[in-house]
Amino acid sequence: MLAVTHNLRSIAMALCFTAPLAFAEGEPSALSVSAAAELLYQIENLQLEVQSLRGTVEQQQHELSKMKASQRDRYIDLDKRISSLMRAAQERPVAPVVSIETATANSDALPVSNDSVGLVIQPEQVEIVDAPRIIEPANAETLAEYKAAYSLVRNNENAKAELAFVDFIGKHPNSELSGNSYYWLGLLKLNSGDPVSAIDQFKSVIAQFPGHDKETDTLYRLGFAYLKLDDKETARGYLVDVIERFPSSKAAKLAKNLLSNIK
């Protein structure tokens, strides 16, 4: 963009010095009218190009701000989950330690093996808690791969797009763009007349990427997919969920229209 601006200034300065000569008659070194017009035309084209580049930069800045805000929210949510797990671990009662002497004195309270002298004490059942999933933000590599898969959708190469999204999820299961990939896989399945598979893909977005940017649209698509299966009650539940949780979203408006057609 800096190079374009520099070229624009250079041409403008050249025009300022040469324009007076464009209409001078009888001067052998005078710039022709066509040449001056060509300079003006180039300047106008460069101005349009600069405006286009500015628009692209503003759009990228907006997307970057959204990504930063989304990542910050995820870190806050992760911190809350870890704190909750730590509190639960601290509040969990510790099993009492029983010495051999005490256990021998209270042999009626503990099962004793007939084949050995030692005591057979049943181990305490330990609750296994899944660690919170850490979602990885998009980087240059994952973004390029995702865009390549998405371009196949735009070119109506749906079969190749499905393979590309599945491959992306396999390589980057924790990437936030895998949430988008599940969503597009669901749409591709839905458009191909397979609502059952579409539901599986949409539910992966909700289950594995809570709070994802595609959550609103995914809930609406789930309602639409269940309606395709003639499961009106389940469809109504998802559509109402969209309206109640995201009332000002575009998906909520679509959900209202779809709800009005369910009898």
Q: Which domain does 22 fall in, by range?
A: 2-66
Tell me, what's the pLDDT at 75? Answer: 63
- Report DSSP state, residue 26: S
Q: In which band, very low, low, confident or very high, does the pLDDT at 241 lie, cut at 50, 70 and 90?
A: very high
Q: Is residue 107 one of the residues assigned to a domain?
A: no
Cβ atoms 195, 229 nearer than 8 A: yes
Tell me, what's the pLDDT at 67? Answer: 77
Q: How far, in Å, CA of 64 to CA of 100, rounded?
A: 63
Q: How far, in Å, CA of 168 to CA of 180, rounded?
A: 11
Evaluate if residue 13 carries a pLDDT over 70.
no
DSSP H or E segment with residue 242: helix 232-245
Average pLDDT over residues 128-135: 60
25-78: pLDDT as tens digits = 444 445 566 666 667 767 877 877 777 677 677 767 777 777 777 777 776 776
Are 156 and 250 in a shared domain?
Answer: yes
Q: Is residue 242 one of the residues assigned to a domain?
A: yes
Average pLDDT over residues 253-261: 92
Tell me, what's the pLDDT at 74? Answer: 73
Q: In which band, very low, low, confident or very high, does the pLDDT at 92 lie, cut at 50, 70 and 90?
A: low
End residue of a domain, out of 48, 66, 84: 66
* Cα-Cα-Cα-Cα dihedral sign, residues 22, 27, 30, 34: positive
Residue 27, classed as helix, strand or coil, is coil
Which one has a higher pLDDT value, 65 or 243? 243
The residue type of 56 is T
Are 256 and 152 in a shared domain?
Answer: yes
Tell me, what's the pLDDT at 236? Answer: 94
Tell me, what's the pLDDT at 47? Answer: 72
Q: Is residue 167 one of the residues assigned to a domain?
A: yes
- Residues in CB range of 110: below 8 A, 6 or more apart: 98, 103, 119, 120, 121
Evaluate if residue 89 carries a pLDDT over 50.
yes
End residue of a domain, out of 31, 66, 101: 66
End residue of a domain, out of 14, 37, 66: 66
Tell me, what's the pLDDT at 85? Answer: 66
Q: Is residue 192 one of the residues assigned to a domain?
A: yes
Q: Is residue 92 one of the residues assigned to a domain?
A: no
Are 147 and 231 in a shared domain?
Answer: yes
DSSP H or E segment with residue 179: helix 176-191
Q: What is the pTM of this model?
A: 0.52
94-131: pLDDT as tens digits = 444 444 344 334 434 434 344 434 444 344 444 444 45
Residue 104, classified by CB atoms within 10 Å of its CB into exposed (0-12), middle (13-18) or buried (19+), is exposed
Are 236 and 147 in a shared domain?
Answer: yes
Domains of the chain: total:
2
Which one has a higher pLDDT value, 109 or 255? 255
Cβ atoms 218, 244 nearer than 8 A: no
CATH of the domain at 177: 1.25.40.10
Q: Is residue 179 one of the residues assigned to a domain?
A: yes
Are 150 and 243 in a shared domain?
Answer: yes
Are 230 and 148 in a shared domain?
Answer: yes
C-alpha distances (whole Å) from 168 to each of 9, 64, 67, 178 are 45, 21, 19, 7
Q: Is residue 228 one of the residues assigned to a domain?
A: yes
Tell me, what's the pLDDT at 206? Answer: 94
Could you give the dihedral angle defined by the CA atoms of residues 15, 17, 19 and 24, in that order, rounded to the nearest 10 degrees?
A: -160
Evaluate if residue 23 carries a pLDDT over 80.
no
Q: Which own/partner contact pairs does 256-260 have at CB distance under 8 Å and 24+ positions apart? A: 258/220, 258/223, 258/224, 258/227
Q: How far, in Å, CA of 202 to CA of 159, rounded?
A: 18
Tell me, what's the pLDDT at 11? Answer: 53
Q: Is residue 118 one of the residues assigned to a domain?
A: no
